């Protein structure tokens, strides 16, 4: 029952899982290189916030802050002489982004920052705050069912002030320098202890690594996922479960009123009930499921009898060491998209051509395009995308259009890209679109001042 150690994880959804951004792309006279970062990766910078001297470093940089998921790891309960410990603990968390899907498969979407402000005392308080920079402490006398809290307003102020002006932390993961296991997510800010042991008897118990706790807590704070474990010392009754799900709907926990009293075929169940992960369930499944495939497993949300989860095992059920189940992976990936822009669109005049470009940091994207208004046939046929392949994966596409084919009046070409990752079945939620404006360069239009005489049948796509 290691799951019990996970402690309370409050979930406050602040953003829906929908990227669906569109932008208008006007052609430029020359290509603009991506903005250079103001910070150097892997080097500490000193900062003073409200009279407290500290430091920050950008540990990994996937791209400009506004297009990436920025996570700040913040030290709490580390004395000045324990700064190296904080770094080595954070380096363990970095393993998530190297080897734990979906964090690892989407690592290019993340910017990771370390923020260190020293505490006077080491560790965090058991029942009330110690003399630490953010006053983090377990909620009550430490036990299975307690969460961690701290001065979240101060944490937010310090992180905002410590990070450079062009960086904004989407999520803050506070690393508490305490051997007692625990983790709590309060919306944007989560707390995890550096190391966990089974209860408070470390000599008989396996270590519960920080990276597992953080994997789970980021599941809440980034992925909007709910807890799939059953106890934590505060079993929910049916009314509480239903109310929770109504208040904080999530992709991995659900309940019904009434619940089926015996096993029923999934297909007849699905006709009457909406399940957030229905698109992952095999037609031959039964409710409740016995495994091993994705289905409806009884027991979730601190309740053995009233809530369902999608899978037998999941990082949201245990300490975080298990892989995320398919609906949880998808939920996380959709939120990665909601927080970031993996695709960049660009259009430039080059010689006698207008060049449209799609750059993506993610592999395997599909794209489609359509004309917003009537396009001359000769132009429409010349819009062909050439894909760039790097190490076997598609990273971008380019279309070159002769300026002579572009009519006097500007036309708009709508281009959409969606994820082609098999871990995502709700493709539309990853949509990023561009409205490419097809026009002639200003000087050229003035110089020629005439229609190029494109004739023939027009069509709408
Ligand atoms: Zn799950």
The domain ranges of the chain are 2-17+36-235+311-336, 240-309, 342-459
Say which CATH class 342-459 falls into: mainly beta
Structure tokens at 375: 């396009």
Tens-digit pLDDT profile for residues 56-101: 999 999 999 999 999 999 999 999 999 999 999 999 999 999 999 9
pLDDT for the residue numbered 194? 85
Cα(54) to ligand 1 centroid in Å equals 37
Residue-level pLDDT at 234: 60
Ligand 1 centre distance from Cα of residue 276 (Å)? 12
Residues of the chain with pLDDT under 50: 1-19, 142-145, 197-206, 444-461
Rounded CA-CA distance 347/328 in Å is: 37
Residue 364's contacts (CB-CB under 8 Å, 6 or more residues apart) are 393, 394, 419, 420, 421
Which residue in this structure is represented by tokens 């132009």? Answer: 379
Cα separation, 435 vs 24, in Å, equals 5
**391 CA distance to ligand 1 middle (Å):** 31
Specify the pLDDT at position 447: 44
Gap from CA of 243 to ligand 1 centroid (Å)? 20
CATH of domain 2-17+36-235+311-336: 3.40.390.10
Pairing of the two strands 365-371 and 432-438: unpaired
Query: Quick check: 148 and 156 in contact, CB under 8 A?
Result: no
pLDDT for 366 equals: 67
- pTM, 2 dp: 0.87
C-alpha of residue 412 to centroid of ligand 1, in Å: 42
d(CA 417, ligand 1 centre) in Å: 27
Per-residue confidence (pLDDT) for residue 461, from 0 to 100: 30
């Amino acid at each position: 029952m290691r799951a019990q150690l996970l402690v309370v994880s409050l979930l406050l959804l602040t953003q829906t899982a929908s990227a669906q951004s569109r932008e208008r792309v006007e052609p430029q006279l020359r290509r603009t290189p991506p903005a250079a970062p103001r910070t150097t990766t892997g080097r500490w910078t000193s900062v003073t916030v409200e009279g407290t001297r500290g430091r920050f470093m950008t540990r990994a940089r996937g791209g400009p802050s506004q297009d990436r998921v920025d996570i700040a790891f913040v030290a709490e309960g580390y004395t000045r002489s324990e700064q190296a410990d904080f770094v080595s603990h954070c380096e363990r968390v970095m393993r998530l982004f190297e080897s734990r899907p979906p964090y690892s498969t989407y690592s290019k979407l993340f910017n990771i920052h370390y923020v260190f402000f020293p505490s006077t005392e080491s560790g965090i308080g058991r029942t009330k705050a110690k003399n630490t920079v953010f006053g983090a402490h377990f909620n009550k006398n430490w036990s299975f069912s307690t969460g961690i809290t701290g001065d979240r307003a101060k944490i937010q102020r310090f992180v905002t002030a410590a990070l450079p002006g062009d960086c904004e932390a989407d999520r803050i993961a506070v690393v508490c320098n305490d051997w007692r296991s625990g983790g709590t997510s309060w919306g944007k800010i989560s707390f995890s202890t550096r190391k966990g042991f089974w209860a408070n008897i470390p000599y008989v118990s396996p270590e519960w690594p920080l990276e597992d706790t953080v994997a789970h807590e980021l599941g809440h704070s980034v992925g909007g996922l709910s807890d799939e474990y059953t106890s934590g010392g505060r079993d929910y009754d049916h009314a509480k479960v239903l109310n929770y799900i109504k208040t904080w709907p999530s992709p991995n926990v659900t309940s019904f009123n009434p619940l089926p009293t015996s096993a029923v075929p999934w297909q007849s169940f699905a006709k009457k009930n909406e399940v957030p992960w229905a698109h992952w369930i095999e037609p031959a499944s039964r409710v409740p499921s016995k495994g091993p495939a994705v289905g409806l497993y009884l027991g979730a949300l601190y309740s053995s009898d009233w809530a369902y989860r999608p899978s037998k095992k999941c990082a949201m059920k245990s300490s975080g060491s298990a892989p995320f189940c398919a609906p949880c992976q998808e939920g996380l990936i959709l939120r990665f998209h909601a927080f970031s822009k993996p695709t960049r669109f660009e259009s430039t005049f080059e010689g006698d051509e207008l060049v449209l470009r799609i750059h993506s940091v993610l592999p395997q994207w599909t794209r489609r395009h359509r004309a917003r208004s009537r396009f001359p046939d000769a132009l429409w046929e010349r819009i062909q995308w050439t894909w760039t392949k790097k190490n076997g994966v598609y990273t971008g596409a380019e279309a070159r259009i002769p300026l002579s084919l572009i009519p006097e009046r500007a036309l708009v070409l709508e281009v959409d890209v969606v994820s082609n990752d098999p871990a995502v079945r709700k493709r539309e939620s990853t949509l990023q679109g561009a409205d490419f404006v097809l026009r002639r360069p200003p000087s050229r239009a003035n110089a020629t001042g005439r229609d190029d005489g494109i004739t023939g049948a027009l069509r709408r796509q």
